[in-house]
Amino acid sequence: SALRKKLLDAFTEHEGEYLSGQYIADLIGCSRTAVWKHIEDLRQEGFELEAIRRKGYRILKTPDQVTANEIRLGLKTKMIGQRIHYQESVDSTQKIAHRLGFENVPEGTVVIADEQTGGRGRLERAWHSPKSTGVWMSIILRPNIPIPKTPQLTLLAAVAVTQAIEDCTGLEAHIKWPNDILLNGKKVTGILTELQAEPDRVHFVIMGIGMNVNQTKMDFPAELQSIATSLSIEKGSFVNRAEVIRAVFHRLENLYQLYLEKGFLPIKLLWESYAVSIGKVVTARTFSGVIKGRAMGITDDGVLKIEDEDGNVHDIYSADIEI
């Protein structure tokens, strides 16, 4: 509710401080009894709140959840994540986001689930999304850009996630074109950008982000154990998912703003600085065959350029890359 958002924003602004019942009541425009009711609701949700006479309320601990309330506490964005649709278990957050996109929800609306039973990657590949261990979310954007430029948003999201991982864990992540984020050579995040478009304009873009956060090695199915990793495996300690989500929102909002104002160039430079494959010999598996050569860089449309042994340059629009 709007009042709940105001309450969490007040706790965000006065981080670690006590807020008196009267202060809160005045701020959100309700009675002190209603304040008490809101506090009780938060407790029911798993928040630990301390109440001290003549001082007020203070949040001691949040539940480790990815609900709208928990993400809201500490969120300082203007657009991304201002509206959150949380559901405990869904088929795929992408599907829900597509539906909401048609309902004209505002840009920056996010669908988040604690678990996906039918999470998807590119080409309908399955994305393993077990309960309570990862970040499974889809962000709705409404950029005013021509269709051929939309792959740039995947690259933008990859930069945002890489920066957010460093913000939260201090770990140095790398990007593998087009959409994998790696830690120590293993996939920690996948990004899936889908769009609804008319012939001449983008109606909306759904940016799907799947991040492995607190899985142990044994939580991954056997076939993923050698190629996938999680933030906690690499950091060696528990990582708070809501904090990761807020960091992604903050970084994404900044980069998206930069992109709309200055175009793709600044994003491209950042992307290249985080990319693992550039300058290396890679194998690209495309629909039309396998191309082996040196990855030269990306174009302004996000196309990967590979120079093969004979000096021919190939434009790669879609492929899986092996380094």
Site residues (CB under 6 A) for ligand BTX?
A: 92-94, 116, 119-122, 125, 127-129, 136-138, 179, 187, 190-192, 208-210, 212, 224, 228
Q: What's the CA gap between 147 and 145, in Å, rounded? A: 6
Write down the least CB distance from residue 278 to ligand BTX, Å.
Answer: 19
Burial (CB < 10 A; 0-12, 13-18, 19+), residue 124, is exposed
Q: Do 308 and 315 contact (CB within 8 A), yes or no? A: no
Q: What's the CA gap between 259 and 164, in Å, rounded? A: 17
Nearest to 231, CA basis, from 245, 216, 247: 216
Q: Do 191 and 208 contact (CB within 8 A), yes or no? A: yes
For ligand BTX, the closer of residues 159 and 228 by Cβ is 228
Write down the least CB distance from residue 66 to ligand BTX, Å.
Answer: 12
Write down the least CB distance from residue 269 to ligand BTX, Å.
Answer: 24
For ligand BTX, the closer of residues 8 and 116 by Cβ is 116
For ligand BTX, the closer of residues 4 and 95 by Cβ is 95
Query: Would you list which residues are annotated within the binding site?
Result: 116, 120-122, 187
Write down the least CB distance from residue 45 to ligand BTX, Å.
Answer: 23
The single-letter DSSP state of residue 305 is: E
Question: Tokens for 89?
Answer: 């278990």
Q: Do 203 and 214 contact (CB within 8 A), yes or no? A: no
Residue nearest to ligand BTX (CB): 121
Phi, psi of 63 (to 5 degrees): -70, 155
Half-sphere exposure of 229 (CA within 13 A, CB side): 16
Reduced to 3 states (helix: H, G, I; strand: E, B; else coil), residue 243 is helix
For ligand BTX, the closer of residues 28 and 68 by Cβ is 68
Query: Would you list which residues are annotated within the binding site for biotin?
Result: 116, 120-122, 187
DSSP string, 23-90: HHHHHHT--HHHHHHHHHHHHHTT-EEEEETTTEEEEEE--S---HHHHHTT---SSTTSSEEEEEEE
For ligand BTX, the closer of residues 24 and 252 by Cβ is 252
Write down the least CB distance from residue 177 to ligand BTX, Å.
Answer: 11
Write down the least CB distance from residue 21 to ligand BTX, Å.
Answer: 39
For ligand BTX, the closer of residues 63 and 121 by Cβ is 121
